[in-house]
Every structure is written in structure tokens, then in C-alpha cells.
Amino acid sequence: MPQPTHPAHGSTPAEAVARGGESAAAGVAPRTVEDSRPADPLGWRWLILCCSLLGAGWSALVLRAPDQGKWVSVNAPHASQEVGAATGALLCSVALTGALMIARARVFGRRSRAVEWRGPLRAAELEFRPLAALPWMAFAMLSPAAILNPARMVSVVVASWLLASSDWRWISGRLGSAARRLGSARAAWGVLIIAYVSMAAHLLRLANLRIDSLNARTFDLGIYDNIFFNTLHGDFLGCSMIKGGVHTSAHFDPILGLLTPLYALAPGARTVVAMQALWVLSGAFPAMMLARRSVGHLAALTVGLAWLCYPSVHGVVLHDMHSYALVAPCIVWMVLLGHDGRWRAYALVTLLTLAIREDAAFCVMGVGAWLIAARMQTGRGVATIVMAAIYLAVVKVAVMPDAGLLMENSDEVYAYANRFRRLIPEGGGATDAAISVATNPAFVVGHVISRQKLASFVILLVPLAGLPLLGGRRLVLAVWGAAFIYLASKSSLSYPLVHYTSALYPALFAALPAGMVALDRWIARRPAHPGESHLRRHFAARWVLASAVLAGCSWGVLRENRAFALHTKTPWSLSDSQAKTAAWLEAHSQELGVSEAVTASNRLGPFFSARPEMYLPAQRQDTPWIIVHREELSKADRRWIQGLVASRAIVRVDGLGPITLYRRAAARASR
């Protein structure tokens, strides 16, 4: 009867014993079955263990946050006190955490009846590993550094990895069946719906606070409010504040007409931001459904939650209103429906996406390119690209006043070539940009690889643990968004919190599930230590969730965050004077009535834009009412107002602080 072969060495037990004897005779320790185990990782774990012991004390030091600018003049005379406090905090942290860790290791030792101390210590270190993440979390959330600061990025990455690689069975064991039920489809949907409603309420509250604190602007919230109002009353895409009196001078976005019935329920700027918030946040649902095609319900739920925590989503929702922001959920829906082969629904969503804005056609072409690259439906991919190209051409030639992709500046048209000025010479257009890219690649690479643009790209990746980079062919979806954002010369296009990122971040979410699968497969091929195989399950999902939550706290608005910076501040509460000013403006907006034309300065525009005619001071219109905020007027606007007052063309009616309301003394001249 043949002897069984040892799986690790390919030899019989007798041969193994013989080799062991020969090795002993030669002075070499014989190989044993344990030699097939992975090398003991406690060596590098010593560093994490030490960080866990010091974590609480380090966090206390970060929370103290001494002012570095005043260190010499203020802190240096008391340096001994600072050193003493730091030493005491670290010693207390080591003593307390060390005692708890030893006690926990003894419990593990009794349960496993381990003779050696390394196994129980490894188990205790995994449970106490979150303490090592505390200093990194404290810095990422509380540092006053700017959003593009590299230290913030490193802190989020390190803290999220430490949290994801920790052993959380001491929590999941206590939750029992509730934790297991989260893996079901019904529970996952329930959790995501609750999270969606909660995040929508949170962001709507902040958006309304931005309006009431005068941090919202006529550009672009007041403009879109005016477009909705005029569309509701029969003037399709009409707007009194932009060139030509119609939005086609800048963009063609018929989606606004489809949303007008919702706007009609409560006309005003607050309804506009509410529609944008609910639409953009809804992308969490197709993101979870798409992830479910590759991973389990629990892992797919983390993708949906990551969408709600994503800093760019927060910035897009709170950055006034832009129709391009509505592209993001539609792109994920197109990928989902294309993946499932539901082509009728795919065609409807494609038409809806094209209706969002004329340049959304490039995002649609990206989905068509993915269908071709993934070899799923080459014919439908080509049809998608052709349909988007035809739609863009028809809109440019037949609807918009300028057929050029970037248009030329005039009294009737806004130009966008200046946003790519380093690639386009003065007076040039999209063709010149393409020539620059094709003929001078070295210059283009240097133009793209700048510190700000690299930092912006990293901020888009870090909340997703960088896993979209492992997304394979789905990265084709990101080509257009990356080119549009990072070839631009204007820094605002690559800023990670503005609506332009809507061309890129949905592609990253579409590639995320494939990246999660790739990481989990790589981990599964690695040798595991005894008792730690459970840490391999859903590691990618845990890392994505930890990264998204920490990024939402560090760069987004999951917490009050000084680093979250749009073109204006986002307050979390109103002072008494701000609340009084908002109530005063609301009252006067109602008193004037929607039929009265108003000239309002930029900060005040969202209170008065729901009417047929509202103008900015720079437009110099002879409206019956003028309301201005003194601190934001340019010198030319101040001289204009002073001239009208001096000539008694307008009279002061009311005022509050720097805000003054004027009424035209004579009857309004006909135009």
C-alpha cells in the first residue's frame, strides 16, 4: 500500500523522517509541518503594538494642538510644562493600554490553551489596533490644514487601514443576529434608505444655512432659480441675469424643464437646492446595485454608504446649483443597465443623461467606449457613441447661438476656451487643444502633473481606498472626466469639491466593485496565520467604509469641518444677527411680489430670484427696486448707486446693517 504524500513537501512520512535525520546529522534543524506556515509577522506588528500603546496619549497631544506660530513667544517659556504633560499622557496611555492588552491576551491564552505567548498577544494586538489609528484620525479631522494638504491624505489612509485590519469580533459578537441580518438584501436596502434620508436632511439643512447666512450666490443658485421660474411661466430656459436672456448662451439643459413641475410645488432657491441634493444623493442606490453584481450584500452596502459619505458629493450638493451635477447618478445607472443587458431602460437613461446638458454627451460616449472595451455589446457601444455625437452636433448647430464646442465670447455667448488657456492660444478653440495634446505630449504631461492636480486626484481616490485603480476595463469610463478636469488651466475645474468632478467620480464608483474583488482575491492567495482567517472576509469592504467615513469627516461635512471650503463658507448655525437678516430679507421678498423687477447684489440674489426679472448691479437696469449689500459692491457699482441717490432717482426705503433697500422715485422707463 503506498504511503500518503505530505502536501507541503511532496514526500512520504518515512522520507521526511529520513531527511530529518540527515539534516540533524549535518547540524541543520529538520523541517517540520509547522515550517509550511507563513512567517511570524509579529516582527512588524511590534511597531503597530507600540503605536496602540501610545495611541491614546498621542491623540491627547494632537487634541491640545499648540499653536506652532506662537511656539517661540508663548510655549517656549513653558516648554518644561509641555514636555511634562506630554510625558505624563504617554506614560498613562502605555500603562493603562498595556494592562488591558495583557489581560485580554491572558483570556485568549486560556480559551485557546496556547502554550506560547505569541498567539494570544497577536490576538490582543488586533483588538487594540484601533487605538493606533486614534492619532491619525485626530489629525485628519481636527487639523486646520487646507484640504489639499498631503498630511491629511496620509492620515486618512493610515487610519482607515488600521481600522479595517482590526479584529472587531468583540463588537459583532455582541450584536449577534442583528449583525448577521445586515448581510441580507432587505436589511441592506433598509440601512441605505435610512442613511439616504438622514444625509439628505443634513445637507439640506446646511444648504439652507448657506442661503440664510448670505453665503449662497446669484452665480449660480440665483440664476438657476430664475431659469426654473421663467420656464414655469412659459419662457423656456429664460434668465434675465445672463447674456441674451436665455440659458442657451451658456448651456442647453432641457432637464430643467422636466424638473419644473417639482419646482412649481414651492418656487424658490430652497426648492432648487433640495432637488439637486435628492437627485445627486440618489446615486447611492445604483452604486449599491452595481456593486451587488460583483460582491455580497454587505460589501455592496458599503459602496452605497461610501457614495453618501463622499466629500465630492457633499461639495457638489452644497455648491449652489449646477445642472452638470445631475450627471453623476445617471452615469452609474447607465453602467448598471448596460451590465445587466436591460437595453430599453438603458436607452431611456441615456436620453435623460443627454438632456442634462449638452456636454454630458461626452460622459455618454465614455459609457459607449466602456461597452466596446469590455466586449459586452460592441454594436450598442458604437450606437451609444454615435447617438451622443449626433445629439451634441444638433444642439450646437440648431439650438445654441454658437456651434463651437468652447464657443467665442460675444454679447450673446459665453466663452469657455479660457478654462484651457495653456493648451489653447488666444482666439482658438477645441481643435487647437486637440492639436496641443497630440503634438506636444511632454508639455501636456507637465501641465497635468502639478501638485494641486495630483492632490485633487488623490482626494478623489482616498475615500474609496484607491481600489478603483484596480477596476480593469471600467477605468475606460474615467478617461473623459480625467481629461476634462486635469487638462484644464483654471484651478477651479480640478478642485475636488465642485460640480466638475461629476464627470469623474461616478466612473470611480463604477470601477470600485471590480477593485474590491481584485483586492480580496489577492489577500485570499496570501498565507494566513492560525485564527486570523476571519479577517480576510470583506477586508476590501471594511477598508472602503473606513476610508469613506474618515474622508467625509476630514474633507466633507459629516462633521463641522474648517477644511471644507467652497467659494464661500458653510456655516453649521446662524448667529442672532444672521437669523434676523434672513428673516428681514424673506419679508421684503414677499412684500415686493413676484411681478416686480429687482436689482440685487450677488449675496442677496437667492432671496429675490424667483421672479421674471432680477438683475445684478453691473447690468445697470432701471428696475423699480434695488437692494444691495454694501460690502460686496465694486467701486463702479458704489458710484452708480451714489449717483442715483444724489440725483434723487432712487430713495432709501429700509435698511439693515450693510443692506439697503431703495425704490425708484419716478415711474420705470419703458425698455
Question: Which one has a higher pLDDT value, 513 or 46?
Answer: 513
Could you tell me what percent of the chain has a pLDDT over 70?
84
* pLDDT at position 510 over 80: yes
Least confident of 363-367, 441-445, 471-475, 580-584: 441-445
Q: Regarding predicted confidence, which is higher, 350 or 181?
A: 350
Q: Give the model confidence (pLDDT) of 67-108 as tens digits.
A: 544 444 444 455 556 666 777 777 888 888 888 888 877 777
* 435 pLDDT more than 80: yes
pLDDT for residue 44: 67
Q: Is the pLDDT score of 440 beyond 50?
A: yes
pLDDT value for 20: 42
If one compares 399 and 39, the residue with the highest pLDDT of the two is 399
- Residue 28 — very low, low, confident or very high, per pLDDT cuts 50/70/90? very low
How does DSSP assign 631-671, residue by residue?
GG--HHHHHHHHHHHHTTSEEEEEEETTEEEEEESSPPPP-
Question: What's the pLDDT band for 62 if we cut at 50, 70, 90?
Answer: low
Cell of residue 299, nine digits: 460589501
Q: Residues 298-336: pLDDT tens digits? A: 999 999 999 999 999 999 999 999 999 999 999 999 999
Secondary structure class of 360 (helix, strand, coil): helix
Nearest to 273 by CA among 258, 257, 286, 259: 259
pLDDT tens, position by position, 532-571: 666 778 899 999 999 999 999 999 999 988 788 777 788 9
Cα dist from 486 to 57, 434, 590, whole Å? 41, 14, 44
pLDDT digits (tens, 9 = 90+) for 99-147: 888 887 777 777 666 545 566 777 778 888 888 898 888 888 877 667 8
| DSSP tag of 246 | B
Sorting pLDDT into bands at 50, 70 and 90, what band is 59?
A: confident
User: Residue 346: pLDDT above 60?
Assistant: yes
| Distance (Å, whole) CA 404 – CA 272 | 30
- Whole-number Å distance between alpha carbons of 269 and 262: 13
* φ, ψ for residue 547, nearest 5 deg: -65, -45
| pLDDT at position 369 | 97
At residue 90, the pLDDT reads: 78
Tell me the average pLDDT across 477-484: 96
Instruction: Give pLDDT tens digits for 175-223.
Output: 555 556 666 788 899 999 999 999 999 999 999 999 999 999 999 899 9
User: Who wins on pLDDT, 262 or 101?
Assistant: 262
- Which of 142-146, 248-252, 401-405 has the lowest average pLDDT? 142-146
**Quick check: 595 and 611 in contact, CB under 8 A?**
yes
> Does the pLDDT of residue 231 top 60, yes or no?
yes
Which carries the bigger pLDDT value, residue 99 or residue 654? 654
pLDDT at 266 over 80: yes
Angle, helix 343-356 to helix 327-340, in steps of 10 degrees: 160
> pLDDT band at 639, cuts 50/70/90?
very high
The pLDDT assigned to 19 comes to 41
29 pLDDT higher than 70:
no
More confident residue, 98 or 629: 629
Mean pLDDT over all residues of the chain? 86
- Mean pLDDT, residues 472-498: 94
DSSP state of 499: G
pLDDT score, position 601: 96
| SS3 state at 625 | strand
Task: Give percent of the chain with pLDDT exceeding 90.
Answer: 62
pLDDT score recorded for residue 92: 86
Question: Does 21 have pLDDT greater than 70?
Answer: no
Asked if residues 164 and 546 have their Cβ atoms less than 8 Å apart, the reply is yes
| Nearest of 450, 458, 545, 547 to residue 496 by alpha carbon | 458
Q: What is the pLDDT of residues 149-164, one digit of tens each?
A: 888 899 999 999 999 9
More reliable by pLDDT, 38 or 52: 52
Q: How much is the average pLDDT of 10-35?
A: 40
φ, ψ (nearest 5 deg) of residue 654:
-160, 165
CB distance 210 to 571 below 8 Å: yes
Cα-trace Rg, the chain: 30
pLDDT at 530 over 90: no
Q: What is the pLDDT of residue 36?
A: 43
**For 668, what's the count of Cα atoms within 13 Å in the CB-facing half-sphere?**
13
